Structure 1
Amino acid sequence: MILTLLPLVSLYISCFILMLGFGLIGILLPVRMGIEGTETDVIGLVLAMYAVGMLLGGLYCRSLIARVGYIRVFAASAALSAIAILACSLTMNVWVWGAMRGLMGFCIACSFAVIDGWLSHAATEKTRGRMLATSQITIMAAIFCGQFLLNIAPADNSTLFTIAAMLLTMGLVPLAMSRRSGPVLQETHGMSLLQILKISPLGAVTCCFGGVLYGSIMNLLPVFAGGYGISGFMLSVFMASAVLGAFLLQLPIGMLSDRLDRRTLLFGLLVINILTTIAIPFAANYNLTTLMMILTGISTGVFSCLYPMSISETFDRVRTSDMAAAMGGLLSIYAIGSIIGPITSSKAMEIWGNDALFGFLATFELALLLFVVYRMRARPSLPISEQEGFVMHTDIGSGLYDLDPRIPHQEDETPNSLEAQVAITIAESNPGAAVRMVKELTQSSPEKAAELYTALAQVDDIDVGRLFASITRAAPGLSLEIAEALADNAPEQATELVQWLSEHRPNELSDIVTAIINHIPSNPAPATEPDNTETQEESLAVDTSDMRPADLEAYHESATELVTHFAENHPEQAYDIAAAVVETVPEMASDVVDILHDSDNLDDNISMDINDRPDDYEVNDLTDKTTADKPT
C-alpha cells in the first residue's frame, strides 16, 4: 500500500492543502453573510453558484486540459480560486460574491479532473480502489480540519479570506515542484441525462435528490446554527460533526448495500432519516447540543450515501463499456440537484424561519421514498449477488470517477504505427492511393494487415468492403484476424463489413460473423487459439455465466439485431447468420427461431422449406441445441 502511494505523495499533499482552503471557505462565506445581515434566500443563491461552477467545470475541464496540459490547468485553478476569495474580501456585493463562488466551483471541478487523470494514469487494476479510498480520506480530512480554521481570526474582517487564499495558492506548490510529467488525456464520451433517466429512473432521481438534500444541509447549516447562537468553536464542532457523519456512515451503509437488496435498504434509510431530520430542530430548541450534532451527523451521512447508491443502481442497468459515460452524466445530475437545493431551501427558510430547512429536507426525503416504492413495484430488483458493489464517493471528490474500480481501466492507447499514420494522412486527400499503399504493405508485412485495415476503415471516405477485398487478396489467411480487429476497435464499421460480405462474399459470411460476434460488445471469446478442431468448435460458444446482467442483455440484443437485419434485408443469407449466432451463443436459439418464423421476407423470398435446408441450419436442431446447452 505504501509503495503504491509513495510516488503520489506530492499530489495528495496538494489535494489536502487545496481542500483545507475550500473547507475554510465553505463555512466562512455563509457565516460572513449572516454577520452582514444578508437575507437567507440570497445566501442560498450565492452558495448555489458553487454547484453552477462545478457543472460548467465538469463540462469543459477536459477540453482545457487537452489544450494546455494538466499542470497548467491545476495552477490556473489554484490561482483563480485565490483571486476569487480575495475579491470576496474586498466587497460585500452579493453579485460579486455569486460570480466568485461560481468561479471557485469551476476551479474545483478542473482541479479534481487533474487529480483524477493523474491518479488514474498511475493506477493499475489492483491499486485503483486503494487510490480512490486514499483520495476520499484526504479530501474529507482536509474539509474536516478546515472547519476549525474559522477560529483563527474573526469572520468579520479580511484575515480569514487571506488565509484561505494562501492555502489555495500553497496547494499548487507540491504538485508544481513534482518531477512527474502529466499523463496523456483519455478521450471520453458522456451519456445524456435523458438516456440515464430511461435506463435507470431510480438511479437518476436518487442522484438528483442526493444533490438537493446534501447541497442544502451542508450549505445552510451555518445559517441554521447562527439562528440558535451557535458560533465560534462550537460552530466548527457542529459543522465538523456533519462532515464526519458524511464520511463515516458510508462504511456501514456500504456494507449493508452489498448484503441487502439496495432498494429495500434505501427505503429503510429514508424512513429512519425522515425522523432524524425532523428531530434536529427540536433538539436545538431544547439546547440538546450533543444530540443535535449526532442527529446532524446521521442525516448528512445518509444524504452523502445517496450519490454512491445512485451510481450502483445505475451501473446495474448499463453495460460495462458505458459505465464511465453514465458516471459523467450522473455528475451533471448531481450538480443540478446541488443548484436546486440551496436556492429552494433558503427560500423556505426566509419565509418560515430557520427550522424550515429540516422541514424542507424531510419533504424531499418523503418524495424520494414514494418514488422508491413506485420503482419497487414497477421493476423487479436484481438478485443481491448480481448487484453492483457500493464504492464510496464523497460530494466534493465526486469528480474522481476514473478511479472507480467498477469502471473498466483504460490503459494508455498505443499510438498508431508510422505506416498507419501515413496511410491515414494519405486517405484524407486520396483514399484510392491509401488503399493501394496498404495493399503493398500487407504483401511485404502481413502482420500489419489488421492494424492498417482498422486505421483506414475509420476514415470517412474509405469503402470498408473494398478495402477488405484488397487486403485479403494480398493476405488471404488474415481475414478472420482483420474482422476481429475491426470488431474490437470500430464495431460500427464491422456492421458495414458484414453487409458487404453478404452481397459479395456470402461463402465467407458465417465465419466472419462468428469472429465478430465473439468480439463485440464485451469480447468474451477465449484469448488463446485451440489446438484441435473439437476444441475450436467448443470455444465458439460464449461463456455468459460470469457476465453482468446488463452486458448479457446487450450481448443478446446485438446478436438479435444482426439476425433481424439479415432476415429483413438479406433473407437469402439469414439462415447462415442464424446458424453462426446459435453456434456462438447456443442459448439464443429460441429467439433466433422466432425471428426466422416471424420474418415476412423469408416467407416471400425463400422458396426452400426450412426442413429441406442442411442439418446444421434446421430449426429443430437449433431448438434441440438450446435445450441441451441452456443452463438449468
Structure 2
Amino acid sequence: MFRHILPISALLLGSALLVLAGGINTLILPVRGSHEGFSSFSLGLLGTGWAVGYIAGCLLTPKLVAKVGHIRAFGALCSLCAVAVLGSLILMSPWTWIPLRGLSGFCFAGTAMIVESWLGERATAANRGKVFGFYTMINLGATTAGQMMLTLGDTTGYLFFVVAAMVYSFALIPTAISSTTTPKPLVSVRLDIRGLWRNSPVAVVAVMMIGVSNSAFGTLAAVYADRIGLVLATIALFTSLPILAGAAAQIPVGALSDRMDRRKVLVGISVVAICADLAFVLLHPQDATTNLIIAAVLGAAIYAMYPVIVAHANDHAAPDSYIQTSGGLLLLYGVGGIVGPLVAGFGMTNLNVSALFMTTMLAHTLIIVFTLWRMTQRPEVAIADKVDFAMSPLARSSTPETAAFAKPDDEERPVTPELGQ
C-alpha cells in the first residue's frame, strides 16, 4: 500500500489540509453565529450560499483550469478560501457571511476537482481502488479532526478563523512544489434533467430530497445542538458522528443493495431516517448521550443514501455514461442543497429548533412515497445486470471529478461544461 501512496503523498497532504480547514470553517460559522445572536434562518442561508457556490465551482472550474492551468488555479482558489474565512471574521454579519460562504463553496469544489483529477491521473487500473479508498479515508478523518479542533480553544475570538485561513494557505504548498505531471483537462458535465429523468425518475427525486435533507442537517445541526444547550465538545461530536456513521454504513448497505432491488434498500434506510427524525421531533432529547445516539442513527441512514441512488441510476444508464449520470445527479443534489437549509432555517426561526428535523422528515417521506409508487411502474433490475456498488465520499464534498476518479476503468472524459435544459 505504501508504494502506491508515496508518489501521490504531496497531493494527499494538500487535500487533507484543505478538508481540515473546511471542517474548522464549517463548524465555526454556525457556532460563532449562534453566539452572536444570528437567526437560524440567516445561518441556514449559509448552507444555501455554499450550495450555490459549489454548483458554480463544479461547472466553471474546468474552464478556469483550461485557461490558466492546474497549479495556478489551485493556488488562486486556496487563496480565495483563506480570504473568505478571514472576511467572515472581519465582517461579522450574516449578510456578508452568506456570499463569503458561497465563495468558499465555489473554491472548495474547484480545489477538490483539481486534486481528484491529479490523483486519478497518477492512479493505475491496478491501484485506483486503493488510492480512492485512502483518499476518502483521509478526507473523512480530516473533516472530523477539523471540527473537533474547536474544542481546544475559544470560539468567541479570532483564533479559529485565523487557523482555518493558515491551513488553507498551507494547503497550496504541496501541489505548488510537487513535481507531479500536470493531468488532463478536468471532467465537465451538464445538468440534463430530462435525460436523467428518462433514465431513472427515482434517482432524480431521491437525490434532490437527499440534497434537501443532508444539506439542512449539515448546515444547521450545530445550531440545533447549541440552541438546546449542549456544550461545545458535544456539538462537535454531534456534527462529526453522523458523518463517520454514514461512512461505516455504506459497506453493509452497499452489499445489501447489490443483492436486492436498490429501491427497497432506499425505502428501508429512509424509514430508519424517519424514525430518527421522529425521535428528535417527539422526544425533544436534552441530554448529550441521547442526542448523539439519535444523530449517529440519522447519519448512518442519510449519508448512505447517496451512493445507493447513484448505483440505482447507473443500473439503468448506458455503460459509457457513468460520469455523466453521476455528475448530473451530484448537481441535482446541489439544487436540493440550496433549498434545504433555507426551509429548515426559516422553520427554526419561526417555529422551534425541531423544525430542522421536520424538514428532513418531509424529504425522507417524499422519497418513500415516490419510490414505492415507481416500484409499481417499473420492474427491478436483474442482479446480473447491476453495476457494482461503489462507496463514495459525502455528496457535499464530491464533484464530477470524483466519479471519474472512482471509476475503475478509464472512461473517456466528456467535455460539456454548459448548463443544459
| TM-score > 0.5 by shorter chain | yes
State the match for 1:536 in structure 2: none
Structure 1 residues 343, 188: closer, same or farther in 2, change over 3 A? closer
1:228/1:188 CA distance change after superposition, 3 Å:
closer
Q: CA deviation at 1:183?
A: 1.1
Map 1:222-241 to 2 at 5 A: 222-241=222-241
Question: 2:417 maps to what in 1?
Answer: none
Letter of the 1:162 partner, please give it: V
Q: Give the match for residue 263 of structure 1.
A: 263
Residue 344 of structure 1 corresponds to: 343
Aligned match of 2:411: 409
Identify the residue that residue 176 of structure 1 maps to in structure 2. 176
Q: Structure 1 residues 265-274 or 389-398, which shifts more?
A: 389-398
Report the residue type matching 1:392 in the other structure: M
Checking the alignment, whether the CA contact within 8 Å between 2:41 and 2:346 is kept in structure 1 is yes
| 2:380 is the alignment partner of 1:381 | yes
- CA–CA distance in 1 between the matches of 2:319 and 2:408? 8
* Corresponding residue of 1:291: 290
* One-letter identity of the residue aligned with 2:118: W
Matches within 5 A, 1:473-622: none
CA contact (8 A) 1:143 1:243 kept: no
1:299-328 alpha-carbon deviations (Å, 9 max, x no partner): 122111222111111111111222211222
1:377-423 per-residue CA deviation (whole Å, 9 max, x = no partner) reads 01001112322222112224311111122564349xxxxxxxxxxxx
- What's the counterpart of residue 316 of structure 1? 315
Distance in 2, Cα, partners of 1:208 & 1:260: 23
Contact persistence 1:257–1:389 (CA under 8 A):
no
Summarize the Cα distance change of 1:186–1:73 in structure 2 as closer, same or farther, 3 Å threshold. Answer: closer
1:99 corresponding residue in structure 2? 99
Question: Residues 87 and 187 (structure 1 numbering): CA distance in 2 closer, same or farther, change over 3 Å?
Answer: closer
What does the per-residue CA deviation read over 1:241-290, in whole Å, with 9 as the maximum and x for residues that have no partner?
12211221112211211222211111111122211221135555352x22
Task: Give the secondary structure class of the aligned counterpart of 2:376.
Answer: helix
Task: Determine what percentage of the aligned residue pairs are the same residue.
Answer: 28
Determine the C-alpha separation between the residues in 2 that align with 1:178 and 1:360.
Answer: 45
1:426-466 CA distances to partner (integer Å, 9 max, x unpaired)? xxxxxxxxxxxxxxxxxxxxxxxxxxxxxxxxxxxxxxxxx
Q: Distance in 2 between matches of 1:253 and 1:310?
A: 12
User: What's the CA shift for 1:124?
Assistant: 2.0
1:64-143 correspondence to structure 2 within 5 Å = 64-143=64-143
Does structure 1 retain, via aligned residues, the 8 Å contact 2:245–2:299? yes
Q: Structure 1 counterpart of 2:306, which letter?
A: Y
Aligned-partner Cα distance in 2 for 1:308–1:286: 32
Relative distance call for 1:168 and 1:305 in structure 2 (3 A) is same
Question: CA 1:196 to 1:407, structure 2 compared with 1: closer, same or farther past 3 Å?
Answer: farther
Between 384-393 and 332-341, report the one with greater CA deviation: 384-393
Per-residue deviation, 1:365 = 0.8
Tell me the distance in 2 between the aligned counterparts of 1:272 and 1:285: 18
In structure 2, how many angstroms separate the alpha carbons of the residues matched to 1:281 and 1:234?
19
**Structure 1 counterpart of 2:102, one-letter code:** G
Distance, in Å, in 2 between the alignment partners of 1:281 and 1:292 is 12
CA drift of 1:47 comes to: 2.5
Q: Please name the residue that 1:153 is paired with.
A: 153
**d(CA) in 2 for partners of 1:186 and 1:58?**
10
Separation (CA, whole Å) in 2 of partners of 1:151 and 1:386: 48
Tell me the amino acid that sits aligned with residue 4 of structure 1: H
Distance, in Å, in 2 between the alignment partners of 1:275 and 1:261 is 22
Q: Which amino acid aligns with 2:315?
A: D
Is 1:328 matched with 2:327? Answer: yes
For residue 64 of structure 1, what is the amino acid of its counterpart? L
Q: TM-score normalized by structure 1? A: 0.63
Deviation at 1:140, TM superposition (A): 0.8
Q: Return the index of the structure with the highest Cα Rg.
A: 1
Give the Cα separation in 1 of the matches to 2:10 and 2:309. Answer: 32
Q: Distance in 2 between matches of 1:203 and 1:142?
A: 30
Distance in 2 between residues matched to 1:299 and 1:285, nearest whole Å: 14
SS at match of 1:285: coil
Q: Is the 8 A contact 2:47 2:215 kept in 1?
A: no
- Root-mean-square deviation (CA), in Å? 1.8
Which blocks of at least 5 consecutive residues in structure 1 are unaligned?
412-632
| Paired residue secondary structure (2:294) | helix
Aligned to 2:419: none
Which of the pair has the greater relative contact order for Cα pairs under 8 Å at 6+ separation? 2
Distance 1:10 1:295 in 2: 38
Q: Mark the CA change 1:98 to 1:286 in structure 2 (over 3 Å): closer, same or farther.
A: closer
Residue 207 of structure 1 aligns with an amino acid whose one-letter code is: V
State which drifts further: 292-301 or 336-345: 292-301
Taking the TM superposition and a 5 Å limit, the aligned residue runs for 1:323-472 are 323-393=322-392, 394-399=394-399, 400-405=402-407, 408-410=410-412
Give the aligned partner of residue 416 of structure 2.
none
Whether the aligned pair in 2 keeps the contact of 1:217 and 1:300 (CA below 8 Å) is no
Structure 2 counterpart of 1:502: none
Q: How many residues align?
A: 411
CA distance in 1, matches of 2:93, 2:291: 33
CA–CA distance in 1 between the matches of 2:126 and 2:293? 36
Q: Structure 1 141/244 Cα, relative in aligned 2: closer, same or farther at 3 Å? A: same
Amino acid of the residue matched to residue 411 of structure 2?
H
C-alpha contact 2:246 2:303 (8 A) present in aligned 1: yes
Contact 1:324 1:407 in 2 (8 A): no
Residue of structure 2 in register with 1:37 after alignment? 37
User: C-alpha separation between the residues in 2 aligned to 1:283 and 1:114?
Assistant: 45
Q: Write the letter of the residue equivalent to 1:227.
A: R
- How far did residue 186 of structure 1 move? 5.4
Give distance in 1, aligned partners of 2:238 and 2:72.
37
Aligned partner of residue 38 in structure 1, secondary structure? coil
8 Å contact from structure 1 (residues 274, 365) kept in 2: yes
Q: Provide structure 2 residue ranges, at least 5 long, that are not aligned to the other structure.
A: 414-421
Residues 1:7 and 2:7 are matched in the alignment: yes
Cα pair 1:200 1:314 within 8 Å, conserved: yes
In 1: Cα distance, 2:97 partner to 2:264 partner: 42
| Per-residue CA distance 1:307-359 (angstroms, 9 max, x = gap) | 21111111111112222112221121011111111011111111210012112
* 1:23 maps to amino acid: G
Residue matched to 1:19: 19
The answer to whether the 8 Å contact 1:283/1:292 transfers is no
| 1:416 alignment counterpart | none
- CA–CA separation in structure 2 for the residues paired with 1:132 and 1:207: 23
